[in-house]
Amino acid sequence: MRVLIVEDDAGIAGGLAAVLKGAGYAVDHSATVAQAWAALSAEPFDLVLLDLGLPDGDGSQLLQRLRRQPPATAGQVRLPRPDLPVLIMTARDAVHDRIAGLDLGADDYLVKPFDPNELQARMRVALRRSAGRADPVIHIGELEIDPARRTVTRAGQPVALRAKEWAVLLSLWQARGQVLDRTRLEQALYGFDEGLESNALEVHVHHLRRKLGDGLIKTVRGVGYFIPRESAP
Ligand code: CA
């Protein structure tokens, strides 16, 4: 899962990035509306954390522009993604600001300062909604995957996953039925500034298969990986 933090306060952005990286998200940061639009146009993000008061404009302008992008046709990836989940975070706690943000298409609203655990819970809700699933626990065969608690059991036995393994699994699940190529998965896993070993993705998939069984993640040779849509509960 790849997250864009749009925030001009370097301290807040750095703190958020550290928390989210620790939780296994790939994180990028933009400090202005212009930078954020460039990042959203270049890379496939899964979620945006958006500050409203930015040096070159208001975050709500970015949100409005994003929501007005034409939707992608089936099988296409259009950037920026008009339906990208957006959580507004701002010090403004006036009711009219909150209403305006939600009316412009924000998925949720957090008033600073907020608890990092609450932020992550709300991010999971937004990501769950965007994947079109209401059930927070994923059941596939003998697997039970709970993204909120970060727990997996296989035939009732707990399975430990590392942060990047979670990220691979959730990216594939979020896009189930659709093949994600290497580049797309690597973009989902690693931020601009993170080093990437050439076989890192294969290693994560190998570990996931060893831990979760061979049946879940399919390979399309020379292209990428997918989880079949029939795996949906
Ligand atoms: Ca600000």
pLDDT tens, position by position, 57-83: 999 999 999 999 887 666 566 788 888
SS3 state of residue 165: helix
| Residue 148 CA to ligand 1 centre (angstroms) | 29
Strand partners, 48: 4, 86
77-89 tens-digit pLDDT: 678 888 899 999 9
The pLDDT confidence band at residue 232, using thresholds 50, 70 and 90, is: very low
Q: Who wins on pLDDT, 52 or 138?
A: 52
User: What is the CA(9)–ligand 1 centre distance, in A?
Assistant: 6
Q: Where are the beta strands (DSSP E) in 72-150?
A: 86-90, 108-111, 138-140, 143-146
Ligand 1 centroid to residue 101 C-alpha, Å: 15
User: Under a CB-based contact definition with an 8 Å cutoff, are residues 131 and 143 in contact?
Assistant: no
Give the Å distances, CA to CA, from 88 to 9, 33, 47, 58.
Answer: 15, 13, 11, 11
Global pTM reads: 0.69
Report the separation in Å between the CA atom of 10 and the middle of ligand 1, taken as the mean of its atom positions.
10
- Whole-number mean pLDDT of the chain? 86
How many of the other CB atoms lie within 10 Å of CB of 167?
Answer: 23
The sign of the CA dihedral 149, 151, 153, 157 is negative
Which pLDDT tens digit goes with each residue over 107-150?
A: 999 988 889 999 999 998 898 887 765 566 888 888 988 876 77
Give the pLDDT confidence score for residue 134 in this predicted structure.
Answer: 55
Per-residue pLDDT band at 36 (split at 50, 70, 90): very high
